[in-house]
Chains A and B, each alone.
Chain A
Amino acid sequence: MHGITPPSRGLLRVLTCGSVDDGKSTLIGRLLYDCQLIMEDTLAALARDSRKHGTLGEEVDLALLVDGLEAEREQGITIDVAYRFFSTPQRSFIVADCPGHEQYTRNMATGASNSELAIILVDARKGLLTQTRRHSYICSLLGIRHVVLAVNKIDLVDFDRDVFDRIVGEYATFAAGLGFRTMVPIPTSGRFGDNVTRRSDRTPWYRGPTLLEHLETVSVEEDTTLIPFRFPVQWVNRPHQDFRGFSGTVVSGSVAVGESVVVAASGVQSHIARILGPDGDQERATAGEAVTLCLTDEVDVSRGDILAPTADRPAVADQFAAHLLWMDEEPMLPGRQYMMRIGHLWTRASVTAIKHRIDVTTLDQQPATRLAMNEIAFCNFATAQRVAFDPYAQNRLTGSFILVDRFTNRTVGCGMIAFPLRRASNIHREAFLVDKAARAAALGQKPMLLWFTGLSGSGKSTVAKLVEQALHRAGRHTYSLDGDNLRHGLNRDLGFTEQDRVENIRRAGEVAKLMLDAGLIVLAAFISPFRAERRMLREMFEEGEFVEIFVDTPLEVCMQRDAKGLYARALRGEIANFTGISSPYEPPEAPDLVLDGDGATAEELARQVLELVERRQAG
């Protein structure tokens, strides 16, 4: 059955999904087994494993063919996507076997992003479950247009046609809005093989194809050669002075020597001088080919740029709307900065607004202020850099992105772009003749922001006050921003949830930025418990302007002082999200200055800050 002659219909990439225990791994195991693709030594091992881990007594447990991790075999569940490869004379297949448990939805999305067809399993006894709907929606969102509805374990409902028809009807209603081009329902039994590769005589009422027949013949062709040429530059190949090429994979369309192209973000145009493929020079490159392009002009192109036809360019913007699937245990907070990878470009990005969250069971739109793991929302994004992209519906590879946590480097989210937000491009910054340097020079000082962070009651405000008095006496122009005071005015609308704390800091940062622009030395005392936001602040300012001062006072000492009686109230449960009690404080990793808030007087601490300020002013 192995095809060494190329199968006639090419490659089909399939994923299996559905709820836990619907029998996904067993169905795939059955498919491989009945296609006689399991080798003898593997079968011997399977018989051994079945006795040890199997759930079927003496019978061979086909799920153990695919559940490869120890934890999976011990618990009898699928945790991670497994990729299986097989061929029949008609076609070759890559099957992504995806986990059904809700906490592994991100792995399921991974499989969907790289597949063309989904087999959605339903346990005939249970009917449609939340996971069935969730997975169907994710498939749809990620652009899968062909699904098989495998009503599995049909043997356990006595091959009852009514059960099958009811489930199919219910699914068709649910999936009507999901944009699937084909939806083929098949009654199957993974355990016994009915309608998997062999037509079952126990379902005489079923006239459709077996699973394998359908997989071998379904046409999923989306001709990526027909949409506009896109070439994300992956790597600049410059081995010597006489050669400068741009390596990458053509994601859509095609290009030929002599044609004109534009660097999307900069608008600079040139022509294709040479195309180097895996076997040397070629005249044309089409979607899917990994090539190196040489241009006729010395233009500035680097990794992350996109080359496109001059007449048909991608959008370029620093704000856009996109669907976001959140994949991390730590929630997504608007305003927090993440690293975004879009094509070959890495840039900082944040959600500026959650337009609505999508209930995956009903597909209803709901308001939301944050996203938990496995939640999906439609959001506005802002990026630090202008990026080139297409809507995901037009081009899966130039319209998708991932988000990565800036501290842990975990992949925390994935997104599909809907459209650019135009207002960003309409606001042009005025270039004032009198600028920051001029104002600072008039005041005879270097503008800087002294940012005091620490627990409530650590002494931040007290020290900041002493420092400001001393600076003022020395003729410096200063201003103090205090967390409490700001919350009475500008930040009156904010509470103490994580997302409000992020916004609180962002606004304080923006106000401080304006004041530094005016030439002032700003002192700011904010608990600012999260590293991510303090890092965001540092990046808002020029090198050396942001001075992070950690007032390091132990929690016990702060609680003892409790000047405002807040700790007592928090401990009684009267204040939610109180830093140190019910909300974390992440100490700075590399602050500019650490003040020992327990070991020294406020005057002594202020003196340490003043020394640092004078050093920086002089330096």
Chain B
Amino acid sequence: MQTRMRVLSSHLKRLEAEAISILRETVASFRNPVLLYSIGKDSSVVLHLALKAFAPGRLPFPLLHIATGWDFRAMLEFRDRRVAEVGAQLIVHTNPEGLARGINPLTHGSQVHMNIMGTEALKQALDNYGFDAAIGGARRDEEKSRAKERIFSHRGPGHVWDPRNQRPELWGLYNTRLNPGETMRVFPLSNWTEFDVWDYIAAENIPVVPLYFAAPRPIVRRGGALIMRDDDRMPLEPGEEPEIMWVRFRTMGDWPLTGAHESRAQTVEEVIEELRLSRVSERHGRLIDHDQEASMERKKREGYF
């Protein structure tokens, strides 16, 4: 186990204890849980917490990565290294039909791409492996419809979320009971903010994808967003030439859909300082969220994480 760089605040200790308790509850209550590992900072924190929750035992569930074919290469490298380090079992799933039909964000648009390669792929994987509980790193402070979601979030047959009919959650007495065909999504970081996550990463020295830190990267400007051209599948428009810019990413996702911003923050401390001064929200760089108003709620009702 890694040593702490500094002592946790009482606030972070409380969040840590709550998350560990939620993870243990999941393992105690479900037949076949899985950790949805999206390789981002939140997933990295959940993985770190899970290692603590079940020590001295090993992770009692596998990791599941939904690969869309458009993940940043740096994310995949990080994933494989991290999984080997902690000795976890990794399942990678890509929607085979979407792959066969060549679904991609460039020609089909972000909505179709994320629906088929993200949401549908996730549902396929959960069904194929018979997972009855899927743990994710989503936080209530990310977005308005997330703010309404339960820690143990019930999904009906077909993985649909009914936001108007959620189970009340009192005193941490979670109702974990399922009927056949139903599943649960579990969010141990529900009560964390983006700051809490970075604070914890700093205090616990948790490894994260290098893309979170500023470096010179090849960038093209598309519709006001800074897109890093991670490979040559994205054709350049006439006269377009990638320029090398100092940028970093605030969230992880498919590279054509994830905007970078100009930054010189190269350490966790510098990232925290930059966030402290920031006047835009975390999801600003996510191109998929702006497609339509209330788009997150719609995606979640269809089974998105």
Q: Which of A255-263, A399-407, A422-430 contacts B (4 or more CB under 8 A)?
A: A399-407
Q: Which of A80-88, A313-321, A578-586 contacts B (4 or more CB under 8 A)?
A: A80-88
Which residue of A has the minimal Cβ distance to B178?
A409
Interchain CB contact under 8 A, B21 and A400:
no
Interchain CB contact under 8 A, B17 and A289:
yes
Bound-state CA distance A401–B173 (Å) is 7
Bound-state CA distance A110–B168 (Å) is 6
Bound-state CA distance A3–B193 (Å) is 11
| Interface: A109 (CB within 8 A) | yes
Which residue of B has the minimal Cβ distance to A74?
B294
Bound-state CA distance A309–B55 (Å) is 25
CB proximity to B under 8 Å, residues A1-47: 2-4, 6-7, 10-11, 39-42
| Interface: B221 (CB within 8 A) | no
CB proximity to A under 8 Å, residues B189-216: 190-191, 193, 195, 199
Which residue of B has the minimal Cβ distance to A108?
B168
| Interface: A153 (CB within 8 A) | no
Interchain CB contact under 8 A, A404 and B177:
yes
Inside 8 A of B1's CB, which chain A residues have their CB? Answer: 279-280
| Interface: A71 (CB within 8 A) | yes
Inside 8 A of A414's CB, which chain B residues have their CB? Answer: 168, 170, 173
Interchain CB contact under 8 A, A6 and B170:
no
| Interface: B53 (CB within 8 A) | yes
| Interface: A249 (CB within 8 A) | yes
Q: A66-B144, A83-B147, A106-B168 are in contact. Are A276 and B24 (CB under 8 A)?
A: no
Q: Which of B90-98, B102-110, B116-124, B159-167 contacts A (4 or more CB under 8 A)?
A: B159-167
Interchain CB contact under 8 A, B28 and A6:
no
Inside 8 A of A401's CB, which chain B residues have their CB? Answer: 173
Bound-state CA distance A402–B11 (Å) is 28
What's the minimum C-beta distance from B223 to chain A, rounded to whole angstroms? 15
| Interface: A49 (CB within 8 A) | yes
| Interface: B89 (CB within 8 A) | no
Residue of B164, B281, B298 near A71 (CB, 8 A) is B164
- A207-245 interface code vs B (CB 8 A; 1 in, 0 out): 000000000000000000000000000110111100100
Inside 8 A of B55's CB, which chain A residues have their CB? Answer: 276, 280, 292
| Interface: B134 (CB within 8 A) | no
Q: Which of B68-76, B80-88, B272-280 contacts A (4 or more CB under 8 A)?
A: B272-280
Q: How large is the interface on B (under 10, 10 to 19, 20 to 34, 35 or more residues)?
A: 35 or more
Which residue of B has the minimal Cβ distance to A48?
B293
Interchain CB contact under 8 A, A249 and B21:
yes
Residue of B4, B58, B169 near A279 (CB, 8 A) is B4
| Interface: A327 (CB within 8 A) | yes
Bound-state CA distance A343–B173 (Å) is 7
Interchain CB contact under 8 A, A109 and B170:
yes
Interchain CB contact under 8 A, A410 and B167:
yes
Interchain CB contact under 8 A, B280 and A235:
no
Interchain CB contact under 8 A, B280 and A40:
yes
Inside 8 A of B53's CB, which chain A residues have their CB? Answer: 247, 290
| Interface: A94 (CB within 8 A) | yes
Interchain CB contact under 8 A, A4 and B276:
yes
| Interface: A172 (CB within 8 A) | no
What's the minimum C-beta distance from B224 to chain A, rounded to whole angstroms? 12
| Interface: B129 (CB within 8 A) | no
Which residue of A has the minimal Cβ distance to B18?
A290
Q: A113-B171, A341-B173 are in contact. Are A2 and B195 (CB under 8 A)?
A: yes
Interchain CB contact under 8 A, A80 and B193:
no
Interchain CB contact under 8 A, A278 and B16:
yes
| Interface: B127 (CB within 8 A) | no
Bound-state CA distance A106–B165 (Å) is 11
Residue of B14, B163, B275 near A80 (CB, 8 A) is B163
Which residue of A has the minimal Cβ distance to B163?
A69
Interchain CB contact under 8 A, B170 and A110:
yes
Bound-state CA distance A289–B19 (Å) is 11
Interchain CB contact under 8 A, A409 and B179:
yes
Inside 8 A of B111's CB, which chain A residues have their CB? Answer: none
Bound-state CA distance A70–B147 (Å) is 13
Residue of A48, A107, A278 near B168 (CB, 8 A) is A107
Bound-state CA distance A271–B140 (Å) is 40
Inside 8 A of A278's CB, which chain B residues have their CB? Answer: 16-17, 20, 52
Q: A288-B14, A327-B168 are in contact. Are A411 and B175 (CB under 8 A)?
A: yes
| Interface: B267 (CB within 8 A) | no
Which residue of B has the minimal Cβ distance to A79?
B164
Interchain CB contact under 8 A, A400 and B191:
no
What's the minimum C-beta distance from A574 to chain B, rounded to whole angstroms? 38
What's the minimum C-beta distance from A10 to chain B, rounded to whole angstroms? 6
Q: A39-B280, A113-B171 are in contact. Are A290 and B27 (CB under 8 A)?
A: no
Inside 8 A of B54's CB, which chain A residues have their CB? Answer: 237, 239
Bound-state CA distance A107–B170 (Å) is 9
Interchain CB contact under 8 A, A4 and B195:
yes
What's the minimum C-beta distance from A328 to chain B, rounded to whole angstroms? 10
Inside 8 A of A113's CB, which chain B residues have their CB? Answer: 170-171
| Interface: A92 (CB within 8 A) | yes
Residue of A4, A70, A292, A342 near B294 (CB, 8 A) is A70
Residue of A110, A243, A280 near B169 (CB, 8 A) is A110
| Interface: A336 (CB within 8 A) | no
Apart from A39-B278, A67-B144, A94-B191: 14 A-B pairs, beta carbons within 8 A? A41-B284, A68-B148, A84-B141, A114-B172, A234-B28, A235-B24, A238-B57, A239-B54, A243-B56, A288-B13, A288-B14, A402-B170, A409-B177, A411-B175
A to B CB contacts below 8 Å, 8 in the list: A2-B276, A11-B14, A66-B144, A68-B146, A69-B297, A79-B163, A249-B17, A342-B173
The 5 closest A-B pairs by CB, nearest first: A68-B144, A239-B57, A6-B9, A113-B170, A39-B281
Q: List chain B positions with a Cβ less than 8 A from chain A.
A: 1, 4, 9-11, 13-14, 16-18, 20-21, 24-25, 27-28, 52-58, 140-141, 143-148, 163-164, 166-175, 177-179, 182, 190-191, 193, 195, 199, 272, 275-276, 278-281, 284, 293-294, 297-298
